[in-house]
C-alpha cells in the first residue's frame, strides 16, 4: 500500500484514485484467477457486493492517501491512515453483510456474532499493514532527499 500512498502524495488525490482503481482491478483479476471468486457459491447480488466491498472500493480508497498532502508530516500520515482504515471498513462490511449471510464457519474461530468475527479477522491483517505502511511513510518522508522527490518540492 505504501507505493500507492506515495503516488497519491506525489501526484494528488485524483491521479491517486485512478492508479488505485487500476490496482483494484488487478486485485479483482487475481481474486478471480487465483482465489476462485466465482466458485465461492455467491448469489449474483452477493457476488456484486463482494466485488465492490472486497475489491473495487477498498483498494480504490487507497488513492485518498494524499488528501492532506500540504498539511505537513502529521497530515500526510493521517491521510494514509484514513485511506487504510477505509479499506478496513470495506472489508469489515463485506464480512458482516455478505459472508455472514452465508452462514460460513471460519477456520479456528466461531462466533454467531458476525460483527465480532469480521472485525477480528480483518483487523488481524489490516492493522499490521497500517502500522508498517506508516513506518515506511515516516522513513521516506523524514529523509529530505526522498521527501523532496515524493512531495515534488
pLDDT in tens, 4-42: 999 999 999 999 999 999 999 999 999 998 888 888 778
Q: What is the pTM of this model?
A: 0.88
Mean pLDDT of 69-94: 95
- The dihedrals phi and psi of 106, each to the nearest 5 degrees, come to -90, 150
Q: Report residue 106's pLDDT band, with 50, 70 and 90 as the boundaries.
A: low
Domains and CATH numbers, the chain: 2-150 (1.10.1760.20)
Residue 22 corresponds to which cell in the numbers above?
A: 487500476
Find the mean pLDDT for residues 100-123: 72
> Which residue in 90, 82, 92 sits closest to 122, CA to CA?
92
Distance, in Å, from the CA atom of 19 to the CA atom of 16, rounded to the nearest integer, reads 5
Largest CA-CA distance found in the chain, in angstroms, rounded: 52
Q: Is residue 84 within 8 Å of 133, Cβ to Cβ?
A: yes
Question: For residues 102 and 64, what is the distance between their CA atoms, to the nearest angstrom?
Answer: 32
Residue 17 contacts by C-beta under 8 Å, 6 or more apart in sequence? 8, 60, 63, 64
Amino acid at each position: 500500500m505504501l507505493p500507492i500512498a506515495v503516488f497519491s502524495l506525489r501526484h494528488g488525490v485524483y491521479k491517486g484514485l485512478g492508479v488505485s482503481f487500476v490496482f483494484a482491478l488487478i486485485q479483482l483479476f487475481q481474486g478471480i484467477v487465483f482465489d476462485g471468486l466465482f466458485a465461492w457459491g455467491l448469489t449474483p447480488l452477493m457476488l456484486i457486493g463482494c466485488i465492490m466491498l472486497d475489491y473495487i472500493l477498498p483498494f480504490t480508497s487507497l488513492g485518498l492517501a494524499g488528501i492532506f498532502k500540504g498539511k505537513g508530516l502529521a497530515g500526510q500520515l493521517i491521510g494514509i491512515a484514513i485511506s487504510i482504515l477505509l479499506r478496513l471498513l470495506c472489508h469489515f462490511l463485506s464480512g458482516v453483510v455478505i459472508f455472514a449471510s452465508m452462514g460460513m464457519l471460519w477456520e479456528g474461530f466461531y462466533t454467531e456474532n458476525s460483527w465480532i468475527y469480521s472485525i477480528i479477522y480483518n483487523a488481524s491483517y489490516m492493522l499490521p499493514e497500517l502500522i508498517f505502511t506508516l513506518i515506511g511513510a515516516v522513513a521516506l518522508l523524514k529523509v529530505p532527499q526522498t521527501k523532496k522527490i515524493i512531495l515534488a518540492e
